[in-house]
């Protein structure tokens, strides 16, 4: 985990860029009205002081520090840009540089937040928010207005939420950003979701399925008709699984139609429609139109209501393969959710091919994780009592993971193929099928999460909520 004594305040961090920090090996320590104090391990401090004063346009004071301490500060507070692989063009524009930096380091969202005394910019990296910049109260409205103009929003409307879209194009990159504005107490909050058009890396066998789960899932999606449902909370990777499935099914002789909100990846050969509820282009009405477009496969971004659920059932009954997502906590909970919506259980039983639940968990950094013995404070009581775990790995932090202890994420799945016994259970509206799952070797989210802990892929802290469910 991060050592707090090496964390710098955001206002200090943003005094210099990552490039300057690494080039001059300096760490901001203190800023006053007249000068800035830096820590450094550079021996020729006189020459460095003169050069920094020219570059920064401010009086500079330098304090000597050990090389190891400077390295620690740099790794924790400044991400070093990889100039060999970076294809994004940086400019003197603060806003564009924020966007490009977020894209380069793999951030999924950028949050611009308004508060009483200061305004913040936070990046979501590997599912966690990290504070990156502070913006003055004077500058914040200008940045908000610029973002609203770029995304096609009405800058005069500050009382109502708005949605927009920005396309960022450079000589090497082309990606879209979905922008959402929200009026808050001290000003508008904007969230920018980065939507990459690069879908090369989206492959079913790279998402986190075990070999048995992958075989079971592929068998279900290769059926000519029926419904494939993927469940999980927001940010659990459902859409990525859908896109990887579409890539697997995308053939020259197949007509694939999708209705999405938003279109997160563009797929060559797939007819993708953007949801626009304000003009009546919703999931249910578009699904109805799809059925007149001679489709083989239909993807619906999300089943939110009974109208959409019924249209998906109808499409499956008339010989189409339908893929969609739904918000439930487990694969079996999907069935209960559909029944609660008002969909007859016999229709669910006859059309559902497979139900999937998934979560995203951060992977431990292989360079610094450490194996420790299990104690009572680490694990849930049930796992401790049944002696299911003797040792586990903890996050530490090193230069390879920017001192977070984690690097990358992995999906955890729960896959229930609809067999004859499952069809009967659906028709009877059974609330639990744990015994069936155990007898047939179907792993739940809990079992798969515990397996990742045993194998040292993730930590107990990361999957604790799954282990107590």
Which two three-digit tokens encode residue 458?
């993730």
Confidence check: pLDDT of 42 > 50? yes
pLDDT, tens digit, 9 for 90 and up, residues 376-410: 777 887 777 667 788 899 998 887 787 788 988 99
Verify that 261 and 351 share a domain, yes or no: yes
Verify that 380 and 442 share a domain, yes or no: yes
Verify that 220 and 316 share a domain, yes or no: yes
Does any domain span residue 1? Answer: no
| Mean pLDDT (whole number) for 168-189 | 87
Residues in contact with 453: Cβ distance below 8 Å, sequence separation at least 6, in sequence order: 389, 392, 393, 459, 460, 463, 467
Verify that 309 and 380 share a domain, yes or no: yes
Verify that 334 and 457 share a domain, yes or no: yes
CATH value at residue 150: 3.30.450.90
Does any domain span residue 83? Answer: no
Which two three-digit tokens encode residue 176?
């879209």
| Mean pLDDT (whole number) for 144-161 | 94
Q: How many structural domains compose the chain? A: 3
pLDDT, tens digit, 9 for 90 and up, residues 24-34: 899 999 998 88
CATH value at residue 17: 3.30.300
Verify that 211 and 184 share a domain, yes or no: no
> Is residue 80 within 8 Å of 18, Cβ to Cβ?
yes
Does any domain span residue 2? Answer: no
Verify that 246 and 225 share a domain, yes or no: yes
What are the Cα distances from residue 453, in Å, to 126, 145, 387?
A: 18, 46, 14
Q: Which domain holds residue 158?
A: 92-196
Verify that 425 and 313 share a domain, yes or no: yes
Verify that 335 and 422 share a domain, yes or no: yes
Does any domain span residue 3? Answer: no
pLDDT, tens digit, 9 for 90 and up, residues 112-124: 999 998 899 999 9
For residues 161 and 125, the model is more confident at 161
In the listed set 48, 77, 106, which residue is the last one of a domain according to the structure? Answer: 77
State percent of the chain over pLDDT 70. 94
Does any domain span residue 85? Answer: no
Measured from the Cβ of residue 231, the count of other Cβ atoms closer than 10 Å reads 24
Does any domain span residue 398? Answer: yes
CATH value at residue 330: 3.40.50.300
Per-residue pLDDT band at 86 (split at 50, 70, 90):
very low
> Mean of the per-residue pLDDT values for the chain?
88
Q: How far apart are CA 29 and CA 77, in angstroms?
A: 12
Q: How far apart are CA 191 and CA 187, in angstroms?
A: 13
Does any domain span residue 277? Answer: yes
Does any domain span residue 137? Answer: yes
Measured from the Cβ of residue 415, the count of other Cβ atoms closer than 10 Å reads 23
Residues in contact with 421: Cβ distance below 8 Å, sequence separation at least 6, in sequence order: 436
Verify that 305 and 427 share a domain, yes or no: yes
Confidence check: pLDDT of 219 > 90? yes
Verify that 349 and 462 share a domain, yes or no: yes
Confidence check: pLDDT of 2 > 60? no
Verify that 34 and 118 share a domain, yes or no: no
- Mean pLDDT lowest among 66-75, 180-189, 250-259: 66-75
Residues in contact with 282: Cβ distance below 8 Å, sequence separation at least 6, in sequence order: 275, 308
């Amino acid at each position: 985990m991060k050592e707090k004594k090496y964390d710098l305040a955001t206002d200090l961090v943003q005094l210099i860029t990552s490039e300057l920090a690494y080039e001059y090996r300096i760490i901001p320590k203190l800023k006053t009205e007249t000068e800035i104090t830096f820590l450094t391990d550079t021996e020729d401090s006189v020459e460095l002081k003169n050069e920094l004063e020219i570059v920064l346009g401010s009086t500079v004071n330098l304090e000597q520090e050990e090389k190891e301490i400077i390295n620690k500060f740099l790794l924790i507070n400044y991400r070093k840009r990889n100039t060999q692989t970076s294809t994004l063009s940086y400019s003197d524009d603060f806003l564009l540089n924020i966007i490009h930096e977020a894209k380069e380091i793999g951030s999924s969202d950028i949050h611009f937040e308004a508060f009483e005394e200061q305004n913040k910019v936070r990046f979501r990296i590997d599912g966690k928010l990290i504070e990156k910049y502070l913006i003055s109260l004077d500058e914040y409205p200008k940045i908000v207005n610029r973002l609203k103009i770029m995304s096609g929003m009405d800058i005069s409307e500050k009382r109502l939420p708005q949605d927009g879209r920005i396309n960022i194009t450079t000589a090497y990159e082309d990606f879209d950003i979905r922008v959402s504005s929200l009026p808050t107490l001290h000003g508008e909050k904007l969230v920018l979701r980065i939507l990459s058009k690069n879908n090369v890396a989206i492959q079913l066998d790279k998402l986190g399925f075990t070999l048995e789960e992958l075989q079971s899932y592929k068998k279900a999606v290769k059926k000519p008709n029926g419904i494939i449902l993927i469940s999980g909370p927001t940010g659990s990777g459902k859409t990525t699984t859908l896109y990887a499935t579409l890539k697997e099914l995308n053939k020259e002789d197949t007509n694939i139609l999708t209705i999405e909100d938003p279109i997160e990846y563009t797929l060559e050969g797939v007819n993708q429609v953007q949801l626009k509820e304000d003009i009546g282009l919703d999931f249910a009405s578009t699904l109805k139109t799809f059925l007149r477009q001679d489709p083989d496969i239909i993807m619906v971004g999300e089943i939110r209501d009974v109208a959409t659920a019924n249209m998906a059932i109808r499409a499956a009954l008339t010989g189409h393969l339908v893929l969609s997502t739904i918000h439930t906590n487990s694969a079996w909970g999907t069935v209960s959710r559909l029944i609660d919506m008002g969909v007859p259980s016999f229709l669910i039983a006859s059309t559902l091919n497979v139900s999937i639940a998934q979560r995203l968990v951060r992977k431990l950094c292989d360079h610094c994780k450490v194996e420790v013995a299990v104690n009572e404070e680490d694990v849930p009581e049930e796992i401790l009592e049944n002696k299911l775990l003797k040792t586990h790995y903890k996050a530490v932090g090193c230069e390879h993971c920017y001192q977070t202890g984690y690097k990358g994420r992995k999906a955890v799945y729960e896959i229930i193929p609809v067999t004859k016994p499952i069809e009967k259970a659906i028709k009877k509206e059974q609330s639990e099928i744990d015994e069936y799952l155990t007898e047939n070797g179907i792993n739940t989210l809990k079992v798969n999460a515990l397996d990742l802990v045993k194998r040292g892929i993730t930590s107990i802290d990361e999957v604790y909520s799954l282990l107590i469910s």
